[in-house]
Structure 1
Amino acid sequence: MSAGNVVLTVTPNPAVDVTYTVAGISLGSSHRVPTPLYRAGGKGLNVSRVAHQLGHPTLAIATVGGPSGEQFRQDLESSGILHHLVPVAAATRRTIALVDTAADNTTSIFNEAGPALGAAEWQALAAAVVDNLGGVQTPDGVRRPGVLVGSGSLPDQAPADFYPALVALAHAAGVPAIIDTSGSGILAAARAGADLLKPNNHELMEAVGERDLVSAARKLMDLGARRVLVSVGEEGMLAFSADAPGTCLQAKLPAPLSGNPTGAGDAAVSAAAVALANGETELREILRQATAWSAAAVLMPGAGEISPQHTELAKQLIITDH
Structure 2
Amino acid sequence: MILTVTLNAALDVTYEMPAVDWDGVNRVATVHRRAGGKGVNVARVLAALGRDVLVTGLAGGPTGQAIEADLRAAGLPGALAGIAADSRTTLVVSDPGRTALFNEPGPEITPDELRNFRRTYEALLADAAAVVISGSLPGGVPADTYATLAALAADRGVPAIVDADGEPLRHAPAGRPSIVKPNIEELARAVPGGTPAEGAQALRDRGAESVVVSMGADGLLAVTPEGTFRARMPYKVDGNPTGAGDSLVAGLALGLVESLPWPERLRQAAALGAAAVAAPVAGDFDRDVYADIHPQVVIT
SS at match of 1:114: coil
Equivalent of 2:282, from 294, 298, 303? 303
Separation in 2, partners of 1:35, 1:308: 22
Give the conservation status (yes or no) of the 8 Å contact 2:154–2:177. no
Larger Rg: 1
Q: Show structure 1 runs of 5+ residues with no match.
A: 1-5, 136-144
The superposition leaves residues 115-146 of structure 1 with CA deviations (integer Å, 9 ceiling, x where unpaired) of: 110111101111111111123xxxxxxxxx11
Which residue number in structure 2 is paired with residue 141 of structure 1?
none
SS of 1:171's equivalent in the other structure is: helix
Alignment partner, residue 187 of structure 1: 170
Q: Which residue pairs with 2:35 in the alignment?
A: 40
Partner of 1:222: 205
Q: Is the 8 A contact 1:187 1:223 kept in 2?
A: no
Partners of 2:105 and 2:132 lie apart in 1 by 22
Q: Which whole-Å CA distance do the structure 2 matches of 1:216 and 1:133 have between them? A: 30
Which residue of 1 is the match for residue 245 of structure 2? 265
1:66 to 2:64 alignment: no
Matched, 1:172 2:155: yes
Contact residue 94 and residue 240 of structure 2 kept, 8 A: no
Note the 1:117-136 alignment, pairs <5 A.
117-135=109-127
Moved more, 84-93 or 33-42: 33-42
Identity %: 39
How has the CA–CA distance of structure 1 residues 71 and 205 changed in structure 2, closer, same or farther, with 3 Å as cutoff?
same
Secondary structure at the counterpart of residue 50 of structure 2: coil
The structural deviation recorded for 1:66 is 1.1
Relative to structure 1, the CA distance from residue 27 to residue 86 in structure 2 (aligned partners, 3 Å threshold; closer, same or farther) is same
- CA drift at 1:26: 3.6
- Tell me which amino acid in the other structure corresponds to 1:204: L
Describe the SS at the equivalent of 2:129: strand
Amino acid at match of 1:273: A
Correspondence 1:293 to 2:272: yes
SS in 1 for 2:34: strand
- Equivalent of 1:82 in 71, 77, 87: 77
Measured after TM superposition, the shift of residue 259 of structure 1 is 2.1
Alpha-carbon offset, residue 249 of structure 1 = 0.8
Cα separation, partners in 2 of 1:33 and 1:235, compared to 1, 3 Å: closer
Partner of 2:101: 109
Distance 1:27 1:263, change over 3 A: closer
Secondary structure, aligned partner of 1:117 = coil
Using the size of structure 2 for normalisation, the TM-score is 0.94
Within 2, Cα distance between the matches of 1:159 and 1:217?
24
Q: SS of 2:54's equivalent?
A: strand
Return the alpha-carbon distance in structure 2 between the equivalents of residues 257 and 164 of structure 1.
Answer: 34
Partner of 1:174, secondary structure, is: coil
Q: Distance in 2 between matches of 1:288 and 1:34?
A: 35
**Alignment partners' CA distance in 2, 1:201 and 1:30:** 36
Instruction: State the distance in 1 between where 2:68 and 2:107 align.
Output: 18
Distance, in Å, in 2 between the alignment partners of 1:54 and 1:281 is 16
Q: Is the 8 A contact 2:278 2:286 kept in 1?
A: yes
> In structure 1, how many angstroms separate the alpha carbons of the residues matched to 2:287 and 2:247?
13
C-alpha distance in structure 2 between counterparts of 1:14 and 1:211, whole Å = 34
Q: Per the alignment, do residues 289 and 34 of structure 1 end up closer, same or farther by CA in structure 2, a change over 3 Å counting? A: closer
Unaligned runs of 5+ in 2: none
Change (3 A) 1:224 1:281: farther
CA distance in structure 2 between the partners assigned to 1:298 and 1:153 by the alignment: 21
Structure 1 residue matching 2:165: 3-state secondary structure: coil
1:37-68: CA deviations, max 9, x gaps? 21101000011000001111110102111111
CA shift, 1:156, in A, is 1.5
TM-score normalised according to structure 1 size: 0.88
> C-alpha separation between the residues in 1 aligned to 2:118 and 2:206?
25
1:210 is matched with 193
Say which SS state the counterpart of residue 46 (structure 1) adopts.
Answer: helix
Q: Are 2:157 and 1:157 aligned?
A: no
Cα distance, 1:232 vs structure 2:
1.0
